[in-house]
Structure 1
Amino acid sequence: MKLIKDTDKLKDACEKLAAHPFVTVDTEFLRDTTFWAKLCLIQMADPDGNEFLVDPLAEGIDLAPFFTLMDDERVVKVFHAARQDIEIFYNMNGSLPHPVFDTQVAAAVCGFGESVSYNQLVKKVKGVEIDKSHRFTDWSRRPLTDKQMRYAAADVIHLIEPYQQLAGMLEENERTQWIAEEMKILTSEDTYRMEPEDAWKRLKMRARKPRELEAMKQLAAWREREAQSRNVPRGRIIKDDVIYEVCVQQPDTPEALAHIRALPRGFERSKNGEAILDIVRSVKAMDDKALPKMPKAERRAQAHPAVVDLLKVLLKQVSEDKGVASRMIATSDDIDAIASDDNADVAALSGWRREIYGDAALRVKRGEIALAVDGSKLQIIERIRD
């Protein structure tokens, strides 16, 4: 088995793959010590089982033919748990593969369970146990061994049959449109675009005052830009708890900054320390009128616990009847929201989820349908009104 290491051979391979209705795709990457994932290997296979391994680290290779294939509307790109792979392609090329089919999402819709792993899916469909001995391999090291390359190729070869079976099940059960809705989200730029100015939204801590909130926004944005430009994890710049402590204490001198325990000794005299102090000083100097308004806490009418429990029972029954993982249909937060608001802005009240569950949940609340026990089976029945 050989790696494709030059652009001409990559172009030939992608032209061959483009002649097929679908290709299976996977990647191997590292991101433990970087902000941006380092793409180390690309694996592809055609429906006939021919595999192609591409070395994106090879000197002089241009991945343009690969990205052309990813953009080819005539070819379905099949992934399992595609989000990280697609994020890498988007950050490298500024475009998103299309059309895409994610077998993990499809498996949840077809009754294989929630977030089924690649290994579990292949075992259920093909009865094959995938070798995971190289799961934690450093894929950036060269040369790759034959065993490593066989392991990598297996991830796309064994994906062919599950894709074909899942696609057939979706067609047979008239659920193709369900997956189309999910893939639209998966291939939306909004799913992957994160501006530094929005980085504060990732933080789990909450500011208590407008000046703290402004400091949090500026510190998170600064850290995001630094991490991106230096290509290091965010925590290598400063950790989340440091941002929180700075926002609360707002130190504006090196001596005050040195009192933050989570910072290493001498940090207050570093370049990063100076940047943090500059941000704090600028925030302190802002006029109160220029500070952001505190977000209003979402106030939702408290639903009766019995209503929530009833909707959970309904979800369990719908999940079993339709053979769809329950969390794929509605989350606990969705149920809480629906229980208190018929117009809640949740996924369970839109698209295919509303079709199989959301509308029924609203009808249960209105007393238009009821849940009844028939022997050992729960039934959803229409209520006859006088």
Structure 2
Amino acid sequence: MSIELHVGDLPDGLDLAATARDNAIAIDTETMGLNPHRDRLCLVQLSTGDGSAHLVQFRQGAYDAPNLKRLLTDPAVTKLFHFARFDVAVMKAYLGITCQPIYCTKVASKLVRTFTDKHGLKDLSKDLLGVEMSKQQQSSDWGAADLNAEQMKYAASDVLHLHDLKAKLDVMLAREGRTHLAKACFDFLPARGELDLGGWEIPDILAH
């Protein structure tokens, strides 16, 4: 596993889309907390599915990142998340972008793994890939000026297995005849993120 840390943006000349496995980029974010209005975006992690990860670290208030934004809004590249609902909302709030098209492994898991209520990334990786993931750094200080090696390793691990998970889940979705339903859910996620940012998270506008 190789990890590259970039401050403020992806470097010029780095074309991750050109080497993306299955034309998809795995993406995750780290923030200061779970409230996008209060807790700032600190890190965006990306992987092309080749076992390497690129981490883009943001200083407070510095969110220009034209190279990253270009990649995240490229309609020819699928943006692959786990729990995309949160990530797309955070990136809308801080980067001012709408990510599309989207694939969310959490949504896919809930549609086909109805025999369990465990749909977290750690559970999925263990059940479908036999990979044990550590969540020890999940609650660390992502706003620190200098990230330590364990933080970077943890951040990278959240994107390194998403391509393999997608491949497994795609087979299950097709087998159960729910691929079209998954796509409809994925297409709605940017709007779901905007609803969350607008205050319709609780109560959920789709609830009774």
Counterpart of 2:94 in structure 1 is 92
Q: CA deviation at 1:18?
A: 4.8
Q: CA deviation at 1:40?
A: 1.0
> Residues 51 and 160 of structure 2 are in contact (CA less than 8 Å); yes or no, is this contact kept in structure 1?
yes
Counterpart of 2:17 in structure 1 is 17
Distance 1:180 1:191, change over 3 A: farther
Read off the aligned partner of 2:195 and give its amino acid letter: T
**TM superposition score normalised by structure 2:** 0.82
**More RCO (CA 8 Å, sep 6+):** 2
Read off the aligned partner of 2:40 and give its amino acid letter: K
- Aligned mates of 2:72, 2:60 — CA distance in 1: 20
Q: Deviations over 1:238-263 (max 9, x none)?
A: xxxxxxxxxxxxxxxxxxxxxxxxxx
* 1:48-197 map, 5 Å: 48-57=50-59, 62-111=64-113, 113-114=116-117, 116-188=119-191, 191-192=195-196, 194=198
- Where does the alignment leave 5 or more consecutive residues of structure 2 unmatched? none
> Residues 8 and 65 of structure 2 are in contact (CA less than 8 Å); yes or no, is this contact kept in structure 1?
no
Q: Deviations over 1:24-79 (max 9, x none)?
A: 11111013798333111111111222211111228967322212111111111111
Counterpart of 1:265 in structure 2 is none
- Where does the alignment leave 5 or more consecutive residues of structure 1 unmatched? 204-330, 334-386
- Aligned mates of 2:93, 2:35 — CA distance in 1: 17
Q: Deviations over 1:307-327 (max 9, x none)?
A: xxxxxxxxxxxxxxxxxxxxx
Q: CA deviation at 1:114?
A: 3.7
Whose strand fraction is larger, Structure 1's or Structure 2's?
2
> Residues 45 and 156 of structure 1 are in contact (CA less than 8 Å); yes or no, is this contact kept in structure 2?
yes
Q: For residue 13 of structure 2, give the secondary structure of its aligned residue in structure 1.
A: helix
Q: CA deviation at 1:191?
A: 2.8
Q: Considering only aligned residues, what root-mean-square deviation do their CA atoms show, in Å?
A: 2.8
- Aligned mates of 1:114, 1:33 — CA distance in 2: 24
Q: CA deviation at 1:166?
A: 0.8
Whose helix fraction is larger, Structure 1's or Structure 2's?
1
Larger radius of gyration: 1
Counterpart of 1:235 in structure 2 is none
> Residues 27 and 80 of structure 2 are in contact (CA less than 8 Å); yes or no, is this contact kept in structure 1?
yes
> Residues 4 and 53 of structure 2 are in contact (CA less than 8 Å); yes or no, is this contact kept in structure 1?
no
Read off the aligned partner of 2:94 and give its amino acid letter: M
